[in-house]
Structure 1
Amino acid sequence: MRGRPPDSEIIHELEGWVRTTHERTRYVEATFSMADMMAESRISMRHKDLRPTEIRKSEGIVQKTMDAFLGFMDPFDIPDKDKLYCLSSGGPVDGLIELDVLSAEEEGKQTKEKLIKERLEKCDFFEAISR
Structure 2
Amino acid sequence: MSRTDPDAGYMYRDQKPEGFFWLAHRTVDAKHNFIVDVHVTPGNVSDSTVYLNRLDHVLERFHFPLEAVALDAGYFTTGIAKALVERGIFGVIARRRFGGKKGMFRKTRYTYLPEEDAYLCPARQRLTYQTTDRHYK
TM-score in terms of structure 2 length: 0.19
The structure with more strand, counted as a fraction of residues: 2
**Higher RCO (Cα < 8 Å, 6 or more apart):** 2
The structure with more helix, counted as a fraction of residues: 1
